[in-house]
């Protein structure tokens, strides 16, 4: 437990360093790493965590020039990375940042690193122009992505890879999905305008905000009028588009946004599956807020004998686990948690899921394969393999969304099953 005042920058820097160090040790931000932070300081800490993780490649380059040897204590490295990020983004307050970072260092191992933190940060300020000039010539540092990640992007997207990288290094846009069961999108847009929130229409049910806002500022959020969902993710329900009354399976449903969108568009007999009971509870809670109903079950979708009653589905959404390479600006820890070998591991799991779910789809039914990845091995190459093996399968539609100002990166392929 930190001894620093929770309303101080030192506390925010110290807690951000703790979380970054946990990520470097293999934990995910999705594991609730922010939950231990004082609620009043959480927004500031989250900004530091997400910003410093996006800029981690840049920060490590700077530390390699500022330190004589690598640090043995991960939390000190993490504190320096967070402080360097803050110095670069708040050049008007550099003296305060250095002072507060030194105070934060006093909370680590009885303060033995206070002098080191002070010296490194002051050295950075003295040598900033020299260091940033050298950084521009280092591809990993300037792109702020691992070398293997850059190599794969360059091979798959020779023209677009710089834009993909640039998007991945920016804070994500905020998109909304209007619950058409409760309010028309245009009417809800007018309510936003009356609340001083700038938005424009995207897709069939979406709105893109000019600036992110807390959900408690969104009119009717807690009443179920609207949800936060990236416009790219909303394409799933638009593409699958099951008819009213259809029997539908959402096989990897957590956190439940796509499940809810399907139900908002039509009355369906929908089964939502996910591996973990805790994630299933999150699906159920989201549906309750939106006044929607579905059967939610904790199960491995590849173990048909554990959950399938033998009745075929008219439509299946296979939003499979993936590297999340298309949503890295929203999940900046992914760049440093993932390893190149993970692509093959995910591709194997995706193949097992796709092969299993094809068995529960009725002839004439449709399956939408979806990922939030931009790596071809998880997307087009996966579908190419499947089509070569499943002669009943026909590709109806395929699209690869690359991250841009409107949406994150997603892949979709709509398949139809012939008799």
pLDDT in tens, 92-127: 999 999 999 999 999 887 778 999 999 999 999 999
Q: What pLDDT score does 270 carry?
A: 98
* 8-state DSSP, 243: P
Domain count, the chain: 3
Confidence label for 262 from pLDDT (cuts 50, 70 and 90):
very high
Q: What pLDDT score does 376 carry?
A: 98
SS3 for 47-63, per residue? Answer: HHHHHHHHCHHHHHHHH
In a domain, 42, yes or no: yes
Q: Which long-range contacts (CB under 8 A, 24 or more apart) does 329-332 make?
A: 329/54, 329/167, 329/168, 329/169, 329/170, 329/171, 329/172, 329/403, 329/408, 330/172, 330/230, 330/408, 331/29, 331/30, 332/29, 332/50, 332/53, 332/54, 332/56
Q: What pLDDT score does 3 carry?
A: 81
Q: Is 56 labeled as catalytic in the residue annotation? A: no
In a domain, 240, yes or no: yes
Q: Are residues 43 and 54 in the same domain?
A: yes
Q: In what order do the strands lie in the sheet with 361-371?
A: 295-298, 269-274, 247-250, 313-319, 361-371, 410-417, 393-401
Q: Are residues 278 and 150 in the same domain?
A: yes
Confidence label for 277 from pLDDT (cuts 50, 70 and 90):
very high
Q: Are residues 290 and 316 in the same domain?
A: yes
Q: Are residues 118 and 208 in the same domain?
A: no
Q: Are residues 149 and 187 in the same domain?
A: no
Q: Are residues 201 and 332 in the same domain?
A: no
Q: What is the mean pLDDT of residues 390-412?
A: 96
Q: What pLDDT score does 69 carry?
A: 87
Q: How far apart are CA 261 and CA 7, in angstroms?
A: 39
Name which of 411, 405, 318 is nearest 357 in CA terms: 318
Locate 32 and state its tokens: 């609730």
Residue at a domain's end among 188, 207, 229? 229
Q: Are residues 155 and 294 in the same domain?
A: yes
| pLDDT at 71 exceeding the cut of 90 | no
CA-based end-to-end distance of the chain = 62
b or e along 271-307 (b: 16 or more beta carbons within 10 Å of the residue's beta carbon)?
bbbbeeeebbebbeebbebbebebebbbbebeeeeeb
CB atoms within 10 A of CB 93: 14
* 8-state DSSP, 227: E
Q: Are residues 352 and 399 in the same domain?
A: yes
State which residues form the domain around 343. 145-171+230-419
In a domain, 274, yes or no: yes
Torsion-angle region of residue 196: left (phi > 0), alpha (psi -120 to 50) or beta? Answer: left
| pLDDT at 384 exceeding the cut of 70 | yes
Task: Tell me the angle at which helices 380-389 and 341-358 cross, rounded to the nearest 10 degrees.
Answer: 40
Name which of 39, 109, 106 is nearest 72 in CA terms: 109
Mean per-residue pLDDT of the chain: 95
DSSP calls for 26-47: T--GGGTGGGGS-TTTHHHHHH
Residue-wise pLDDT tens digits, 28-56: 998 889 998 999 999 999 999 999 999 99
Confidence label for 195 from pLDDT (cuts 50, 70 and 90):
very high
Residue-wise pLDDT tens digits, 136-147: 899 889 999 999
Confidence label for 1 from pLDDT (cuts 50, 70 and 90):
low
Check whether the bond before 255 is cis (ω within 30° of 0): yes
In a domain, 3, yes or no: no
More confident residue, 63 or 111: 63
Q: Are residues 387 and 249 in the same domain?
A: yes
Q: Are residues 162 and 295 in the same domain?
A: yes
In a domain, 121, yes or no: yes
Q: Are residues 222 and 274 in the same domain?
A: no
Percentage with pLDDT > 70 across the chain: 100
The one catalytic residue in 252, 280, 322, 372 is 372
Q: What pLDDT score does 30 carry?
A: 86
Identify the CATH number of the domain in which residue 178 sits.
3.30.70.1170
Distance from the Cα of residue 409 to its chain's centroid:
10
Identify the CATH number of the domain in which residue 117 sits.
1.10.940.10
For residue 231, which phi and psi values (nearest 5 degrees)? Answer: -55, -30
Q: Are residues 151 and 129 in the same domain?
A: no
Residue at a domain's end among 195, 214, 229? 229
């Amino acid at each position: 437990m930190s001894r620093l005042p929770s309303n101080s920058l030192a506390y925010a820097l110290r807690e951000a360093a703790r979380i970054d160090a946990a990520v470097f040790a293999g934990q995910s931000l999705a594991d609730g790493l922010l939950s231990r932070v004082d609620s009043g300081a959480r927004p500031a800490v989250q900004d530091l965590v997400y910003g410093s993780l996006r800029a981690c490649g840049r920060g490590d380059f700077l530390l390699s020039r500022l330190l004589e040897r690598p640090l043995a204590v991960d939390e000190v490295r993490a504190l320096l990375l967070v402080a360097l990020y803050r110095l670069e983004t708040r050049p008007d307050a550099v003296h305060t940042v250095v002072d507060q970072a030194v105070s934060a260092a006093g909370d680590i191992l009885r303060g033995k690193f206070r002098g080191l933190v002070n010296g490194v940060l002051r050295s950075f300020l003295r040598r900033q122009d020299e260091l940033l000039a050298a950084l521009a010539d280092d591809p990993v540092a300037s792109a702020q992505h691992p070398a293997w990640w850059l190599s794969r992007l360059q091979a798959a997207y020779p023209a677009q890879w710089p834009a993909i990288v640039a998007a991945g290094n920016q804070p994500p846009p905020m998109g909304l999905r209007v619950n058409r069961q409760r309010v028309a999108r245009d009417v809800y847009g007018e309510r936003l305008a009356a609340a001083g929130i700038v938005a424009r229409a995207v897709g069939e049910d979406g709105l893109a905000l000019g600036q992110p806002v807390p959900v408690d500022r969104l009119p009717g959020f807690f009443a179920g009028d609207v949800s936060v969902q990236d416009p790219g993710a909303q394409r799933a329900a638009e593409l699958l588009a099951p008819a009213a009354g259809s029997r539908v399976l959402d096989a990897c449903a957590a956190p439940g946004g796509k499940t809810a969108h399907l139900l908002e568009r039509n009355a369906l007999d929908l089964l939502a599956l996910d591996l973990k009971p805790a994630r299933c509870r999150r699906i159920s809670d989201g549906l309750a807020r939106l006044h929607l109903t579905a059967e939610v079950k904790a199960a491995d979708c590849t173990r048909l004998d554990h959950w399938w009653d033998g009745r075929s589905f008219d439509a299946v959404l296979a939003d499979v686990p993936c590297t999340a390479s298309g949503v890295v600006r929203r999940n900046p820890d992914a760049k440093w948690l993932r390893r190149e070998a993970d692509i093959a591991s995910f591709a194997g799991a995706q193949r097992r899921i796709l092969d299993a779910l094809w068995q529960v789809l009725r002839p004439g039914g449709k399956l939408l394969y979806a990922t939030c990845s931009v790596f071809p091995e998880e997307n087009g190459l996966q579908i190419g393999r499947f089509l070569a093996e499943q002669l009943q399968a026909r590709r109806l539609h395929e699209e690869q969304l690359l991250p841009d100002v409107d949406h994150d990166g997603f892949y979709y392929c709509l398949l139809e099953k012939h008799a």
